[in-house]
Structure 1
Amino acid sequence: MREDRRRRYDDGFRREALELIKSGAGKDTLARRLAIPVYTARNWIRLYRSNGEEAVMGGGGSRRYDWETKVAAARDHVENGLTKTEAMARHGIASIAYLKAKVAYLEKLRALRASKSRGASEAPSSDCSQGGDTGSTTS
């Protein structure tokens, strides 16, 4: 069985991080002062900016979002130019990983639709009346 290597941070430690974040510390300063990974520092700063102190303190646990919220947040980022942090704050999404996944899905869907619409206008007609190949393998 795999061991969970994630480090757990107690409330006092997170409060100390919050004070640094509130005073304007960036991810590098926060990581260096608290001896935490830069990735963790960046996530805590994003959480604070998008959902306040409670999000950094770990309140709320796992959340579920309705379909409209998911799509609206991804669209705000992709189509309306909001940063991920701004989209998270607007729609109350606590996890950056969740928003990244939705944005990636929306971007792939948009690319697929664009390639299909280009392909339809460039593809030759398969209409028999125009003498095109119908793709039939029978003679």
Structure 2
Amino acid sequence: MTKALTVDEAAIELRKTKRWLKDWLKANPVDEAGIPFYIPLGRSKTFEPSDIARIRAHIRRGEQCRLKSIGVQASGIVEAQLAQMAVESVLGSRSIPKTRTRQRARLPRSKRNTGTVISMVQPQS
């Protein structure tokens, strides 16, 4: 028989905090089949190793869905990055500008005691 884990132990197993696990369970109480991710025993919850594995699998599916929605393909990004790195190592990086950039123009510094004060008060008519 496997040992049941407490919320603290389950959080440690997931490498997360107890608060994170409780918040996550509040947002995701059951899996796709409708089975809770924990065993309720009164006010406390216990977890079996299979529950921890199901939590990880559920999080992985959510991440997979998120990545798919933003257009990330299975191995396309890694291949593209490797190809780009190979091209840059042979041809040199394109992030280095071809021409030298000019320095910004410097305005002359005003000298002390040479400024002109202009009154902004309008005379009354």
TM-score of the aligned structures, taking structure 1 as reference length: 0.28
**Normalized per residue, which structure has more strand?**
2
Select the structure of larger CA radius of gyration.
2
Q: Could you say which structure has the greater relative contact order, defined with CA pairs below 8 angstroms and 6 or more residues apart? A: 2
**Normalized per residue, which structure has more helix?**
1
